[in-house]
Amino acid sequence: SFDDDINISLETLDLANDDNREFEALSYAWGSKDNPLEISITDPSTNIKASLPVTRDLALALRYLRLPHLTRTLWIDVICIDQQNLEERGHQVKRTGDVYHTARQTIVLSLSESSTVSAQ
């Protein structure tokens, strides 16, 4: 359901060599870093589990974007780029255009915790 815990897994893709691997890129407003929520992350190659604090806006976006019975592959900058490693962050930010170009689609969201979505 919408309020279930958020669980994600991480995998490394080589944009130059993974032509058959489809993913979507998420572009969103980061929102306030106050009162972050924890999401669960699993590395499928090692089965190591950890938690990652994310903004409430990102947690909300992930809840709206999850598919109930399907796996969805998303590239999300704040998760896929090590934000603490300035060298990596600088290098990866330069490649962001390639990521958006390679993505099957780019999802652009502007949400806040007070956002509502209505079905029509």
What are the backbone angles phi and psi of residue 59, rounded to the nearest 5°? Answer: -60, -40
Q: What is the per-residue pLDDT for 111?
A: 63
> Has this prediction a pTM greater than 0.95?
no
Q: What is the per-residue pLDDT for 11?
A: 85
Six-digit token string for 35:
């009162």
Q: What is the per-residue pLDDT for 120?
A: 31
Q: What is the per-residue pLDDT for 68?
A: 85
**Beta strands 37-43; 48-54: pairing state:** antiparallel
Three-state secondary structure along 52-64?
Answer: EEECHHHHHHHHH
Q: What is the per-residue pLDDT for 62?
A: 93
Return averaged pLDDT per consecutive 10 residues of the chain, 120 residues in all: 91 75 84 91 91 92 91 91 90 90 88 46
Q: What is the per-residue pLDDT for 112?
A: 53
